[in-house]
Amino acid sequence: MNGQRTAASDPYFPDNGDSRYRAHRYELALEYRPGPNRLAGTARISAIAGRAPLTEFHLNLAEFKIGRVMVNGRAPHYTHRGGKLRIRPAKPLPAGAAFTVEVHWAGNPKPVRSPWGGLGWEELTDGALVASQPVGAPSWYPCNDRPADKASYQISVNTPSPYTVVAGGRLLTRTTKASTTTWVYEQPAPTSSYLVGLSIGVYQTVLLGDPGLGGVPMTAHVPAHLLPQFSRDFARQPAMMQLFEDLFGPYPFGEYTVLVADEELDVPVEAQGLSLFGANHVDGARGSERLVAHELAHQWFGNSVTIADWRHIWLNEGFAKYAEWLWSERSGGRRAHEHAAAAHRVLATLPQDLRLVDPGRKLMFDDRLYQRGGLAVHAIRCALGDGAFFRMLRDWATVHRHGVVSTAAFTTHVARYAHEPVDEVFSAWLYEPSLPPLPVPPPVRPTASTPAKPGYPPTNGRSAGRASA
């Protein structure tokens, strides 16, 4: 078998993922012992071959010891080197055929190397945490590691009973036998491998909002000593959820979970139906509230509406950044245009060498991409006007719910809502590296249901005052 890139490989990470097939479902059964940091797992992956017969394929998996590999119940030929489990079935799989792969592995999980440091499984002082964006998923389970390959997941984790296991999705069962407990989570929504989050630690579990009101079930898992600060810092998350459902459409998953690790994290990280924060993001003064909004917004932009490959990452981060500004605007803080102006002033002092549409791997997490992405969304809002912009935004999240998108799909979508051509807006903000002038919002005519505040988005009949409660 050769290590050549497959057709439609991600240009930023050509060694990750295999487009010759697509995964449909992962069933992961894990045993983890925190003391020795020992992980043993079995993965059963249901998949579908592509348009050509499949004589070989690969999964991404870090350097664990492989116990057994099966394809459709038969032992294949396989090799495992350089983070790739290359598999050659005993018989070629016909084009379009459904098949199953079973992999048994064990070892001491650790982060995989990347230009941004270690990614994926991280052993904590007391427990473990998984934050995989963009290529850390193979640090703990075998997967077709590319964002466009979305599948459902069932994750079972057996670990010592004092620990809580948190994963994205619905907790199906929690069964204690002797000194260990097995937690089983189900995530039926299509999920990218990098968005499969997991944490094992000692936490207090609290509910956010009133589940009796029929809203999205929201749960938090927090170290006990941080609960007083957390209760203030995340108090307005239910109002954020209400606002974002108004603006972006119904929340795309069955539940939303927040986890605060008892260690510092450089930045919060989104996972499917789950957001991971560090202890440093909890200060009791709402000092990181914009990040609470940012991670929640990713559930629509990035998690439900997923990029085809990492060249389009601005579609994740630009919309999450703009959601921060919308939350500020609707909760009594600065207007989105004020945030845009501040971001523009900062970007004007920095190098002009970043193209949003294809920033390159080196710059894909540069702070300029986040800020310029938010500015690009604001420029589109200014070009369309609020009415058309918010219809466009909600429809984008609704039409592509649980789907895969690209920048080209987005520009085509936006053009349908424009009264005049917007090609120059796209060219200036997405394709050219030089910073365009700050966009100017059109005047807003106050109505009986819209406060006379420039740039205020529609409320769909809900009181804006509830967002600042």
- Residue 258 sits in a domain whose CATH number is 3.30.2010.30
Q: Check residue 210 and give its pLDDT.
A: 72
Amino acid type, 437: P
**Same domain, residue pair 288 and 246:** yes
Domain that holds residue 434: 306-468
Which domain-ending residue is among 244, 266, 299?
299
Helices 314-330 and 237-248 pack at an angle, to 10 degrees, of 120
153 is catalytic: no
| Phi–psi pair at 372, nearest 5 degrees | -70, -35
Q: How far is CA 171 from CA 129, 182, 257, 259, 299, in A?
A: 18, 11, 11, 15, 19
Give the pLDDT of residue 183: 98
Q: Which residues are annotated as a binding site for Zn(2+)?
A: 294, 298, 317
pLDDT tens, residue order, the chain (469 aa): 333 344 467 899 999 999 999 999 999 999 999 999 999 999 999 999 999 999 999 999 999 999 999 999 999 999 999 999 999 999 999 999 999 999 999 999 999 999 999 999 999 999 999 999 999 999 999 999 999 999 999 999 999 999 999 999 999 999 999 999 999 999 999 999 999 999 999 999 999 977 666 689 999 999 999 999 999 999 999 999 999 999 999 999 999 999 999 999 999 999 999 999 999 999 999 999 999 999 999 999 999 999 999 999 999 999 999 999 999 999 999 999 999 999 999 999 999 999 999 999 999 999 999 999 999 999 999 999 999 999 999 999 999 999 999 999 999 999 999 999 999 999 999 999 999 999 998 765 544 333 333 333 333 332 222 222 2
Both 279 and 313 in one domain: the answer is no
Which residue in 295, 324, 329, 456 is the catalytic one? 295
295 is catalytic: yes
Alpha-helix runs per DSSP H in 309-431 = 314-330, 336-347, 367-384, 386-399, 407-415, 423-426
pTM of the full structure: 0.92
Structure token digits, residue 395: 């429809």
Q: How confident is the model at residue 96, as a pLDDT?
A: 97
Position 5 scores a pLDDT of 40
- Residue of 251, 370, 417, 456 marked catalytic: 370
Question: pLDDT at position 211, please?
Answer: 64
pLDDT recorded at residue 465: 29
Please give the structure tokens belonging to residue 19: 């487009």
Structure tokens at 162: 């004092």
Q: Identify the CA nearest to 71 among candidates 39, 40, 97, 107.
A: 97
| Total of domains in the chain | 3
Q: Domain ends where: 250, 274, 299?
A: 299
List the one residue out of 199, 80, 191, 106 whose CA is nearest residue 145.
Answer: 191
H or E element that contains 152 = strand 151-160
Domain termination residue (choose one: 279, 299, 319): 299
Same domain? 342 vs 445: yes
